[in-house]
Chains A and B, each alone.
Chain A
Amino acid sequence: MVNSGPPTLSLGPVLYLWEGDKWRDFYYRIADEAPVHHVIIGETVCSKRLHFTEPHLPAVIERLEAAGKHVVLSTLALVTLERESQYVRSLVADSHFPIEANDLSALALLEGRPHSIGPLINIYNAATARLLARRGASSICLPPELPASSIAEIAAGTPDTAFEVHAFGRMPLAISARCAHARAKGHIKDNCQFVCAEDPDGLPVKTLDRQSFLALNGVQTVSFTCQSLLTELLDLVSMGVSRFRLSPQDCDMVAVASLYDDVLHGRTDAEGGIARLRQLYPAAPLSNGFHHGQEGAAWVARARNIGHRGAE
């Protein structure tokens, strides 16, 4: 069974618009220092951003591969324009790298060849996971919204597929044809002037009572909190999850990856790990509510019987 293989870490695509040099240097350091097996790379949020990173992509991929990382190319989450459809088609047709589908068009085009499924494809049950596995999906990153009980059912019902969960980072919660980020800065999407680049970790949205709530990332809305499943890693492994996705935030991701690696392999205990994680990424409080069947923003402190509660 693939999904009981030794657990590894993967690095999700940078969801935010980072300037080309910063983006390139980030991946060079990941290649050289981060204990991640898979690196999923490429723009998922907005097709208008592609030119920022495309000039650097070949060199970044070469560096990652030289370091022994498994490179997977990500695709756009929302494909509506003809040029976006063409982009996905040419990516699928021309790439000799594995591809992660994040919308139904990529999923359709990848039929019959091994591919990955990203967290923005709706997989809520094993019937759907098996269907996609039969069409060629060899790994599936499950949607962040899923509770532990569903994760366990899906992994158990789809034994030949590798499952991955969003284990670190602000969660992608919604995507729109409209760009709230551009609108917040007095523009519309078609004349956005790439103002989302001013917020490399997202633009915070607070309630009128100044509660931190969400963050804008171009046409995407992400959680203000940073989901961390650090204390749930070993429970998830026992459920059949074999990959843990770290979603890049504007912090020391090499240190985050090393911390997760330490906890995953028993070199650091999870409670101590959480304290360290709060130091590494102080910009946002941690959350794990979705995993425990609660509101996603909630933080459920570890209790002895939590594995049983999650399986209810």
Chain B
Amino acid sequence: MELICPAGTPAAFREAVDAGADAVYCGFRDETNARNFPGLNFSREELQDAISYARRKGTQTFVALNTFMRAGHESLWYEAAADAVRLGADALILADFGLMAHVAETYPEQRLHVSVQASASNPDAVNFLVEAFGAKRVVLPRTLTISDIGRLARQIRCEIEVFVFGGLCVMAEGRCSLSSYATGKSPNMNGVCSPASHVRYRQDGGDLVSELGSYTINRFPREEAAGYPTLCKGRFDIADASGYAFEDPVSLDVMDQIDALREAGVSALKIEGRQRGKAYVAEVVSTLRKALDAKPEHRRPLLARLRLLSEGQRTTSGAYEKRWR
């Protein structure tokens, strides 16, 4: 199985290549990708340098153009696709059907991957994207159990890539407007979720309160470490109870299921985290590389180190295990 690694900066990109990534994915510095955060991503020149560095080391580069084209401004996405193809991207990761059709028609030789944001969660959906746009690989939404993935793999005509480590969307990806409901900015349209521009922290007595837009997302007593107010990882009141209504502040880790994923028919394991620094990328990629190459009985101590790097130092298997539902 391939290891697909994130890079939000040229420095992180080199770290990922050096640490043993089979492919590194990244995006341009604008709203054409779903990690459109200040200070992140690549200019055309930076992508060109990154791709040639990766080539020399035998690593592939995937370019994410995985937001939905804003009506009337499609040229921004078309130009990004043209440049990614020209610079030698090994695959484009796409979510918008209009953009998929454009790429399939204009660059028929270009390898096309279906982004998790396209929400292809069943065989009929995946086969539609394979037939209509020649998709070679689908990144599956985090809504499926490992046995669901195995069943799906037997019915589709393309490769499967799944998220195994890092941030966890609780909602079906690409189908969530919670962020824009609170802030006006969404993953689909703006490439951001719970954007920092709309985050505020305020002191209220002994509590630190985190807000997104005009909504309180969490409240931390002095002894509790404060986290970032990602909307679906907030604490809310439902009826008379308070708590994490959607998901605790945890991140995904299913690296202990490598063999089950391989048996299910998965071709590539994906690490989330283009917003993370180069030290994080280096540590996670090198550790997961070792784990992937190690015998099963040697994996556990390797993977234990990574827990310290996870959000709130707590992890979940998410939807890959049925009980999570």
For residue A82, which residues in chain B have a CB less than 8 angstroms away from its CB?
Answer: 151
Q: Is the C-beta of A184 less than 8 angstroms from some C-beta in chain B?
A: yes
Q: Is the C-beta of A78 less than 8 angstroms from some C-beta in chain B?
A: yes
Q: Can you list, as one digit per residue, whether each of B171-184 has a CB less than 8 Å from chain A (1) or not (0)?
A: 11011111011111
Q: Which of A122-149 contact B (CB under 8 A)?
A: 122, 124-128, 130-132, 143-146, 149
C-alpha gap A158/B12 in the complex (Å): 42
CB–CB A216/B238 < 8 A: yes
The interface stretch among A28-36, A101-109, A268-276, A302-310 is A101-109
For residue A107, which residues in chain B have a CB less than 8 angstroms away from its CB?
Answer: 125, 128
CB–CB A105/B124 < 8 A: yes
Look across to chain B and name the residue whose beta carbon is closest to the beta carbon of A183: B245
Q: Which of B311-325 contact A (CB under 8 A)?
A: 319, 322-325
Task: Give the size of the chain B interface in residues (CB under 8 angstroms).
Answer: 70
- Given A78-B143, A178-B325: A295 in contact with B213 (beta carbons within 8 A): yes
Residue in A85, A154, A188 whose beta carbon sits within 8 Å of that of B71 in the complex: A154
CB–CB A293/B70 < 8 A: no
For residue B148, which residues in chain A have a CB less than 8 angstroms away from its CB?
Answer: 80-81
Classify the interface of chain B: helix, strand, loop or mixed.
mixed
CB–CB B178/A208 < 8 A: no
Residue in B128, B180, B217 whose beta carbon sits within 8 Å of that of A207 in the complex: B217
CB–CB B178/A221 < 8 A: yes
Q: Is the C-beta of A95 less than 8 angstroms from some C-beta in chain B?
A: no
Q: Is the C-beta of B123 less than 8 angstroms from some C-beta in chain A?
A: yes
CB–CB B176/A122 < 8 A: no
For residue A127, which residues in chain B have a CB less than 8 angstroms away from its CB?
Answer: 69, 74, 96, 98-99, 101-102
Q: Give the most central of B125, B127, B142, B232: most A CB within 10 Å.
A: B125
Q: Is the C-beta of B267 less than 8 angstroms from some C-beta in chain A?
A: no
Number of residue pairs spanning A and B whose beta carbons lie under 8 angstroms apart: 221
CB–CB B177/A296 < 8 A: yes
CB–CB B121/A208 < 8 A: no
CB–CB A188/B124 < 8 A: no
Q: Is the C-beta of A44 less than 8 angstroms from some C-beta in chain B?
A: no
Classify the interface of chain A: helix, strand, loop or mixed.
mixed
Shortest distance between the CB of A310 and any CB in chain B (Å): 13
C-alpha gap A120/B125 in the complex (Å): 14
Q: Is the C-beta of A97 less than 8 angstroms from some C-beta in chain B?
A: no
CB–CB B181/A177 < 8 A: no
Q: Which of B206-252 contact A (CB under 8 A)?
A: 209, 213-219, 232, 234-239, 241-242, 245-247
Q: Which of A169-227 contact B (CB under 8 A)?
A: 171, 173-180, 183-184, 188-190, 203-211, 213-214, 216, 221, 223
Residue in A122, A205, A223 whose beta carbon sits within 8 Å of that of B236 in the complex: A205
Residue in B69, B122, B172, B174 whose beta carbon sits within 8 Å of that of A176 in the complex: B172
For residue B219, which residues in chain A have a CB less than 8 angstroms away from its CB?
Answer: 208-209
Q: Is the C-beta of A9 less than 8 angstroms from some C-beta in chain B?
A: no
Shortest distance between the CB of B76 and any CB in chain A (Å): 11
Q: List 28 A-B contacts (CB under 8 A).
A: A78-B175, A79-B121, A79-B125, A80-B143, A82-B151, A111-B128, A122-B118, A122-B119, A125-B98, A128-B98, A143-B177, A173-B178, A176-B246, A178-B324, A184-B239, A190-B322, A203-B238, A205-B236, A208-B216, A208-B237, A209-B209, A213-B215, A214-B178, A214-B181, A216-B238, A290-B180, A296-B184, A298-B184
Residues of A within 8 A of B (CB): 77-82, 84-85, 88-89, 103-105, 107-109, 111, 120, 122, 124-128, 130-132, 143-146, 149-151, 153-154, 157, 171, 173-180, 183-184, 188-190, 203-211, 213-214, 216, 221, 223, 289-290, 293-298
Apart from A80-B144, A289-B184: 10 A-B pairs, beta carbons within 8 A: A104-B122, A125-B70, A125-B72, A174-B175, A184-B238, A189-B325, A205-B238, A211-B215, A290-B181, A298-B184
